[in-house]
Amino acid sequence: MKRTIILSLALAGLVGAGCTASAEGPKTMEPVAANPNPTPGCPTALDFKVKNIDGKDVNLCDYKGKVVLIVNVASKCGYTPQYKGLEELNKKYHDQGLRILGFPANDFGSQEPGSDTEIKTFCTTSYNVTFDMFSKITVKGAGKHPLYQFLTAGGGDAALAGEVKWNFQKYLVNKDGKLIQVFKSGDEPMGPAVTAAVESALK
More confident residue, 192 or 17: 192
More confident residue, 15 or 192: 192
Q: Which residue has the higher pLDDT, 161 or 1?
A: 161
Q: How would you label 50-74 residue by residue, b for 16+ Cβ within 10 Å and e otherwise?
A: beebeeeebebbebbebbbbbbbbb
- Of the listed 19, 42, 61, 77, which one is catalytic? 77
Per-residue pLDDT tens for 155-198?
999 999 999 999 999 999 999 999 999 999 999 999 999 999 99
Q: What residue segments make up the domains of the chain, in order of their start? A: 44-202
Other C-beta atoms lying within 10 Å of the C-beta of residue 42? 18
Check residue 37 and give its pLDDT. Answer: 76
Cα dihedral 160→170→189→108 (10° resolution): -130
Known active-site residue 77: yes
Higher pLDDT among residues 164 and 3, named by residue: 164
Task: For 44-202, give the CATH class.
Answer: alpha beta
40-65 mean pLDDT: 96
